[in-house]
Chain A
Amino acid sequence: QVQLVQSGAEVRNPGASVKVSCKASGYTFTSYHMHWVRQAPGQGLEWVGVVNPSTGRTSYAQKFQGRVTMTRDTSTSTVYMELSSLTFDDTAVYYCARDVDGFDPWGQGTLVTVSS
């Protein structure tokens, strides 16, 4: 079955960077774009950006331009999202989600906590 498995929870200091992984299985990795969406505690969903696993091409939400980098490793069917210059407002659960004309499925989420 199609599955997205994300890396574990992370704690970072303000100003640091974090890199979250999302390993795909059960389908052809390069056939579908992968999005990243985050959700701050008690808040709604916020789109971060998308990566094309076939070409590596990316598109980021304007809010995160210059601070986010999405990459992929086709040999391991894994996509990565790195967010730099972290602030307390970046504390959130970060999800990867496959784009099949709608986001389906979603990874289990990775909690990133920014704390001093």
Chain B
Amino acid sequence: SYELTQPPSVSVSPGQTARITCSADALPKNYAYWYQQKPGQAPILVIYKDSERPSGIPERFSGSSSGTTVTLTISGVQAEDEADYYCQSADSSATSAYVIFGGGTKLTVL
């Protein structure tokens, strides 16, 4: 098993770029996924397979990967982007599956 580490908080002003990192502490790193969660709501998927964007997610959301660190980038941050963001990864074998989440990052739009 391994852990995913995220910064607890990130703050940016509207229109700036927010970058949220997620680091795995062991290899191999599998694909990462990102979720946005606003207070009182269920999470929604904003990035899958490190850098793919689901339909309906604004183009300002992007993902990238380098080594065992993945990054969620929000370009031109808007007030509505204020939320908690979670990275997630998974591993599986023929007999079991294992899913882990990062601890979450609270994005504050100043």
Contacts and interface: CB of A to CB of B under 8 A. Distances in A.
Q: Is B a genuine binding partner of A?
A: yes
Interface of A: 35, 37, 44-47, 50, 59, 61, 95, 97, 101-109
Nearest to A52: B97
- Which label, helix, strand, loop or mixed, suits the secondary structure of the B interface? strand
B101 A103 contact: no
Interface in B22-44: 31, 33, 35, 37, 42-44
Contacts of B86: 44-45
Residue in A35, A101, A107 whose Cβ sees the most chain B Cβ within 10 Å: A101
Contact of B42 (A35, A102, A109): A109
Given A45-B104, A104-B45, 19 more contacts: A44-B86, A44-B102, A47-B98, A47-B101, A50-B97, A50-B99, A59-B92, A59-B98, A61-B98, A95-B43, A101-B31, A101-B48, A102-B54, A103-B35, A104-B48, A104-B54, A106-B42, A108-B42, A109-B42
A47 B100 contact: yes
Contacts of B66: none
A109 B37 CA distance: 12
A105 B44 contact: yes
Contacts of A107: 42
18 contacts: A35-B99, A44-B101, A44-B103, A44-B104, A45-B35, A45-B88, A45-B101, A46-B101, A59-B92, A61-B99, A101-B48, A101-B49, A102-B54, A103-B88, A104-B48, A104-B54, A105-B44, A106-B43
A47 to B, nearest CB: 4
Given A35-B99, A47-B99, A59-B96, A104 B44 contact: yes
A110 to B, nearest CB: 11
A32 B44 CA distance: 17
A37 B45 CA distance: 14
Nearest to A47: B99
